[in-house]
Amino acid sequence: MVKDKFLVIGCNSFSGSNFVKDLLLSDYEVLGVSRSDNIKKIFLPFLWESNIKKFPNGLKNYNFEKIDLNINLPKLISIIEIYKPDYIINLAAQGMVAESWLSPLDWYQTNVMSQVALHDELRKMKFIKKYLHVTTPEVYGSTDSGWIKENFRFAPSTPYAVSRASCDLHLMSFYKAYNFPVIFSRAANVYGPGQQLYRIIPRTILSALTGKNMELHGGGISERAFIHISDVAKASIKITLDAKPGTSWHISSNQKISIRDLVEKIFYFEKKEDFTKLVKISKERLGKDQSYLLDSSKIRSNFDWNDEISLENGLKDTFRWIKNNLIIMKTLPWNYEHKT
């Protein structure tokens, strides 16, 4: 029996590479697309997995195309028309909140204009069964009233969040007008082995291991719910296959923690209880939301999904990855570097 084909746009991203890994482990045929192929193996989990079938010159069932949506969208459209994927998972987006204030045009170009151009072509392709749009809780703004359910009542507070909310609304209009088979997923703060070093968890672990100073914006009073990437990947593939078009899904743990408490927990793992010696308190970032708390009861009740990896075990998992690759990581930048 021939399995369905997947296209993963943003396949070299942290989440994308984990989605590719799980798809290949299930023997799906996968075409990965990313604007960058110069990613080290330590950031691509699908290359670590010994159970993924391999050929002498690559992975079985996996092909890669280097394409920048902002520059060469016609090439991607041509490849899609030839490949005819049954399912598309799109993780391509310009991330980072604080930096979006510095060059908002880059965020709107990638997250809105290029996406609209892509979707206007995809809506004409009747072979697409489902299109998973991986979006963000930042579209809601700060969830100060507590855990919120899926909705489209957006209140974005940064150029990044505005760009993502705009694309979500655009895609919902395509669902209503053209029956475009879009599904929306919004995950809580994702972490785990393979994550970019500038993110809060790997950056804090690196600081704890090396003694290098780090900044804690606003004293770390904001609250988040963290979820391991393995739980997110399983949930995302499940809803891609089984959820109805036009629906939205939250993927989150049910536990919240302040960023300060998270940093303290990580330092405590290394027996460095006085983390203030290495952590510098700086002013809060512009537009920083106090909390992103997503009610995930819908996916739990509809698909019998539960997050399986606790924060404590997930942090230990991430610690192991960083310790095993610390020599390489010491040579890499630990801060975000913007690519136009």
Give 328's strand partners: none
Nearest partner of 284 among 97, 140, 93, judged by Cα: 97
Rounded to whole angstroms, the Cα distance separating 187 from 137 reads: 7
Token reading at 18: 């984990």
- Letter for the amino acid at 71? I
**Is the whole model's pTM more than 0.85, yes or no?**
yes
CB atoms closer than 10 angstroms to residue 263:
23
Nearest partner of 325 among 51, 49, 43, 88, judged by Cα: 43
- Are 115 and 170 contacting, i.e. CB atoms less than 8 angstroms apart? yes
Rounded to whole angstroms, the Cα distance separating 86 from 6 reads: 6
- Letter for the amino acid at 87? Y
- Give me the residue label for tokens 């030839």: 82
- Are 338 and 159 contacting, i.e. CB atoms less than 8 angstroms apart? no
User: pLDDT tens digits, the chain, 340 residues: what are they?
Assistant: 568 999 999 999 999 999 999 999 999 999 999 998 878 999 999 999 988 888 767 788 999 999 999 999 999 999 999 999 999 999 999 887 778 898 999 999 999 999 999 999 999 999 999 999 999 999 999 998 899 999 999 999 999 999 999 999 999 999 999 999 999 999 999 999 999 999 999 999 999 999 898 888 888 889 999 999 999 999 999 999 999 999 999 999 999 999 999 999 999 888 766 677 888 888 877 767 788 899 999 999 999 999 999 999 999 999 999 999 999 999 999 887 767 6
